[in-house]
């Protein structure tokens, strides 16, 4: 694996035009920020009559063009300024931001920080082997990225191509993503837990000619033969011309004519790589979402809007400040890893942790040991891991010093009240706000979260609560009518476009329109249900296709989980008698590592169609499926 080699990078992109000045950064330091001051958000000084969080949110929605133009000018470095802020029409599914503008995402994530603080740490690679973390400065990460960019260019990768990256979370994976961005190629990161069939399907759909992988993966002390999986996948991918193989372990692997040793090839390359001038709406990456049924969707994100949205949400939802260490434990194979391990933190010149291990390796104290060792300020994880850790007991948390923590984040699924309370009370010692962040691969970044808020504003457990700047949620009833009052539940839609949203589904724009824009004309449909409280706060109730209709009430999985698990002693249970009479109880559900229930598997079990359970490679624990199958057999024999 490529290790930092402390030598100087000669090149800093010439396109650096703008940056947040040292004095304004100083003013933004924690404790000094105030909603009544432009110190909170420098751009807001130019927004007439805006003071306070709610006023800023109102402005961002009612004067969306002014808001996004100011933020885009301030926070991104442009090679050429944009001419139009947006050209969007949700009724047509047309979304374009910052047209006419040219920029390079890798310059925004690297060069401008190398220019101001070359020795700042960009990445802390928390390797699977505890206590063996490796740090990479911005200078080193730029150098690695440039070598990789040159290598890809020399091997014929060009603007418009799509490179598939099948690697665990590691610095070379980040550099590969940024190298693609540097030379104008799109990347397609495939989660390194996927099977060869799932990988092959994604390579074919993306029409990649180049794959980057590692010889072996190491996670939770176990070795996975990633190169072998790639070999099996490319058998059915005629487009693949070349495979670059990095060495995560010492183990030599079988090589074919199309394979290249990544680190060896990188050594031959220059550390200066001319960045491509990209249009705002050129493709930055594809990312496939498994979806519960059907063919995976390759959601397409573009350059400027995506980067800006990831950066702004990272800065304000987590209260990230210069010098903080940001620990998002999501794998880079998911959108959370893209936006909050890589692009958001790096665009902000932050220090970001790359977590290669599992929450329970070598023991259930792993996260908190890491928090203590790396002095992590913001920790961002999934409820599924939190619930798992609760079972091992508080002592695994208390053993470590968590005084560096300031904010705790949750993502991926609804966080039930019990898990929220534990996260807040035990992990955060009651002093760190817990932000339950709702968003999707499709939205590019966080859309609803308790923060930013006024300093003393309430945070309600298990609620995502407040729409982010520029986000205007809407709820629809079963007839497709807009629900205007509070204390209402419905289908969660977005009434306005925002820069971070996906632009299309690769090779299938029709499916994009049908899935997201046609169900509620004029709105973006999220597929989730939500409740809007009396106070106007949002709570996500789960996927709408998970909804069960009981005596005319639409009840989501989050509502059921909360009632059955937490409040089984209360009267609410009477609502559920109908469900319970036909319910199979299970200790756990088949979930992916990011916490998504594999509904397809449940359906197949119910249909007794066990031969076509499909690809189970991303299952967190395959034993859960066996339990469900056995439970179902028992239910049938009753
Ligand atoms: C970021 C991510 C998106 C789906 C989304 C919703 C569920 C995510 C949630 C949440 C309740 C939250 N989801 N965050 N549900 N509360 N805070 O997970 O993207 O993998 O595309 O999944 O995850 O159902 O629609 P993705």
Do 285 and 302 contact (CB within 8 A), yes or no? no
- Mean pLDDT, rounded, for 327-348: 98
d(CA 397, CA 393): 8
Place of tokens 């010439």: 14
Residue nearest to atom 10 of ligand 1 (CA): 413
Superfamily of structural domain 100-470: ANL, N-terminal domain (3.40.50.12780)
Tokens of 80: 């050429």
443 C-alpha vs ligand 1 centroid, how far in Å?
A: 10
Q: Which atom of ligand 1 is nearest to the CA of 526?
A: 25
Is residue 11's pLDDT more than 60?
Answer: no
Best probe residue, ligand 1, of 416, 439, 463 (max atoms within 8 Å of C-beta): 439
386 C-alpha vs ligand 1 centroid, how far in Å?
A: 16
- Condensed to tens digits (0 to 9), the pLDDT of residues 119-135 reads 999 999 999 999 999 99
Q: Which atom of ligand 1 is nearest to the CA of 464?
A: 17
pTM of the entire structure? 0.89
Whether omega for the bond prior to residue 452 falls within 30 degrees of 0, making it cis, is yes
Is residue 538's pLDDT more than 70?
Answer: yes
Q: Which helix (H) or strand (E) holds 234?
A: helix 226-234
Is residue 13's pLDDT more than 50?
Answer: no
- Mean pLDDT, rounded, for 482-490: 98
Is residue 373's pLDDT more than 60?
Answer: yes
Mean pLDDT across the chain, nearest whole number? 90
Burial class (CB in 10 A: 0-12, 13-18, 19+), 506: buried
d(CA 228, CA 119): 37
446 C-alpha vs ligand 1 centroid, how far in Å?
A: 10
Is residue 330's pLDDT more than 60?
Answer: yes
537 C-alpha vs ligand 1 centroid, how far in Å?
A: 17
d(CA 117, CA 50): 33
Give the least confident one: 63-72, 271-280, 501-510, 595-604: 595-604
Longest dimension (CA), the chain: 74
- Condensed to tens digits (0 to 9), the pLDDT of residues 219-239 reads 999 999 999 999 999 999 999
409 C-alpha vs ligand 1 centroid, how far in Å?
A: 13
Q: For the chain, which residues make up each domain, given as ranges? A: 100-470, 568-637
Name the percent of the chain in helix, strand, coil, to the closest 5.
35, 20, 45
Q: Which atom of ligand 1 is nearest to the CA of 415?
A: 16
- Condensed to tens digits (0 to 9), the pLDDT of residues 577-586 reads 745 556 777 8
Place of tokens 């309370």: 421
Give the least confident one: 399-403, 499-503, 551-555: 551-555
159 C-alpha vs ligand 1 centroid, how far in Å?
A: 31
Is residue 157's pLDDT more than 80?
Answer: yes
Ligand 1 contacts (CB < 6 A) are 289, 334-336, 411-414, 436-441, 464, 526-528, 540, 543, 594
d(CA 542, CA 589): 15
Predicted pLDDT of residue 637: 77
Residue nearest to atom 8 of ligand 1 (CA): 412
Do 233 and 267 contact (CB within 8 A), yes or no? no
Predicted pLDDT of residue 37: 64
Best probe residue, ligand 1, of 334, 440, 466, 541 (max atoms within 8 Å of C-beta): 440
Predicted pLDDT of residue 547: 63
φ/ψ of 291, rounded to 5, equals 70, 155
Predicted pLDDT of residue 560: 62
d(CA 423, CA 433): 10
Best probe residue, ligand 1, of 338, 412, 561 (max atoms within 8 Å of C-beta): 412
Residue nearest to atom 17 of ligand 1 (CA): 438
Do 282 and 303 contact (CB within 8 A), yes or no? yes
Using DSSP's 3-state secondary structure scheme, residue 541 falls into: strand
Place of tokens 């989050």: 558
- Mean pLDDT, rounded, for 538-564: 69
Predicted pLDDT of residue 23: 35
Strands 217-219 and 121-126: unpaired
451 C-alpha vs ligand 1 centroid, how far in Å?
A: 17
Best probe residue, ligand 1, of 528, 562, 591 (max atoms within 8 Å of C-beta): 528
Percent of the chain with pLDDT over 70: 88
- Mean pLDDT, rounded, for 308-312: 99
Tokens of 66: 């002014």
Best probe residue, ligand 1, of 438, 446, 460, 527 (max atoms within 8 Å of C-beta): 438
Predicted pLDDT of residue 600: 78
Tokens of 45: 């000084």
Do 560 and 579 contact (CB within 8 A), yes or no? yes
440 C-alpha vs ligand 1 centroid, how far in Å?
A: 5
Question: What's the number of CA atoms in the CB half-sphere (13 Å) around residue 92?
Answer: 6
436 C-alpha vs ligand 1 centroid, how far in Å?
A: 10
- Mean pLDDT, rounded, for 526-540: 97
414 C-alpha vs ligand 1 centroid, how far in Å?
A: 8
- Mean pLDDT, rounded, for 59-80: 98
Best probe residue, ligand 1, of 465, 502, 540 (max atoms within 8 Å of C-beta): 540
Residue nearest to atom 22 of ligand 1 (CA): 440
- Condensed to tens digits (0 to 9), the pLDDT of residues 379-418 reads 999 999 999 999 999 999 999 999 999 999 999 999 999 9
Is residue 15's pLDDT more than 80?
Answer: no
Q: Which atom of ligand 1 is nearest to the CA of 442?
A: 21
Angle at 315 between CA 314 and CA 321, to 5 degrees: 125
- Mean pLDDT, rounded, for 442-466: 96
């Amino acid at each position: 694996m490529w290790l930092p080699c402390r030598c100087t990078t000669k090149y800093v992109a010439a396109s650096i035009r703008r940056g947040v000045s040292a004095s304004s950064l100083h003013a933004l330091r924690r404790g000094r920020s105030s909603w009544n001051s432009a110190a909170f958000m420098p751009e807001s000084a130019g927004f007439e009559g805006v003071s306070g969080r709610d006023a800023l949110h109102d402005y961002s929605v009612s004067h969306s063009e002014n808001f996004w133009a100011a933020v885009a000018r301030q926070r991104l470095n442009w090679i050429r300024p944009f001419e139009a802020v947006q050209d969007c029409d949700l009724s047509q599914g047309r979304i374009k931001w910052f047209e006419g503008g040219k920029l390079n995402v890798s310059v925004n994530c690297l060069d401008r920080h190398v220019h101001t603080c070359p020795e700042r740490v960009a990445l802390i690679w928390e390797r699977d082997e505890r206590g063996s973390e490796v740090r990479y400065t911005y200078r080193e990460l730029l150098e690695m990225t440039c070598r990789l960019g040159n290598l890809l260019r020399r091997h014929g990768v060009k603007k418009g191509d799509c490179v598939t990256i099948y690697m665990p979370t590691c610095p070379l994976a980040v550099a590969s993503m940024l190298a693609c961005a540097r030379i104008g190629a799109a990347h397609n990161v495939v989660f390194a837990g996927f099977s060869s069939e799932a990988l092959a399907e994604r390579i074919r759909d993306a029409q990649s000619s180049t794959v980057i992988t590692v010889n072996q993966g190491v996670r939770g002390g176990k070795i996975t033969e990633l190169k072998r999986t790639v070999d099996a996948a490319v058998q059915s991918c005629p487009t693949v011309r070349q495979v670059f193989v990095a060495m995560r372990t010492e183990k030599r692997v079988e090589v074919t004519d199309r394979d290249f040793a990544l680190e060896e090839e990188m050594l031959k390359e220059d550390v200066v790589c001319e960045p491509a001038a990209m249009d705002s709406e050129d493709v930055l990456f594809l990312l496939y979402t498994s979806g519960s049924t059907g063919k995976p969707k390759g959601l397409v994100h573009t350059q400027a809007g995506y980067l800006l949205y990831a950066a702004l949400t990272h800065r304000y939802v987590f209260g990230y400040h210069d010098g903080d260490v940001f620990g998002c434990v999501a794998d880079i194979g998911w959108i959370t890893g893209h936006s909050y391990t890589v692009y958001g933190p790096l665009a902000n010149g932050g220090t970001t942790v790359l977590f290669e291990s599992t929450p329970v390796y070598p023991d259930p104290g792993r996260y908190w040991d890491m928090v203590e060792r790396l002095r992590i300020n913001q920790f961002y994880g999934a409820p599924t891991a939190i619930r798992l850790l609760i079972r091992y007991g508080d002592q695994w948390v208390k053993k470590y010093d968590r005084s560096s923590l300031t904010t705790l984040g949750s993502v991926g699924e609804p966080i039930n009240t019990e898990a929220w309370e534990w996260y807040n009370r035990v992990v955060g010692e009651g002093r760190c706000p817990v932000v339950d962040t709702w968003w999707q691969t499709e939205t590019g970044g966080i859309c609803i979260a308790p923060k930013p808020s006024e300093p003393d504003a309430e945070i309600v457990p298990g609620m995502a609560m407040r729409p982010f700047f520029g986000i205007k949620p809407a709820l629809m009833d079963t007839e497709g009518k807009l629900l205007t009052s509070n204390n209402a539940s419905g289908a969660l839609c977005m009434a306005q476009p925002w820069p971070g949203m996906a632009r299309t589904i690769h090779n299938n724009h029709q499916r994009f329109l049908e899935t997201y824009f046609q169900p509620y004309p004029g709105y973006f449909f999220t597929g989730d249900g939500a409740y809007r409280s009396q106070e106007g706060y949002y709570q996500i109730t789960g996927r709408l296709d998970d909804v069960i209709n009981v005596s005319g009430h639409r009840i989501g999985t989050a509502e059921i989980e909360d009632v059955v698990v937490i409040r089984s002693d209360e009267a609410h249970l009477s609502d559920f008698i109908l469900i319970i009479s036909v319910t199979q109880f299970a200790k756990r559900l088949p979930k992916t590592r990011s916490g998504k229930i594999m509904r397809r598997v449940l359906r197949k079990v119910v249909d007794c169609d066990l031969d076509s359970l499909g690809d189970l490679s991303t299952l967190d624990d395959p034993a859960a499926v066996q339990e469900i199958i056995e439970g179902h057999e028992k239910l049938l024999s009753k």
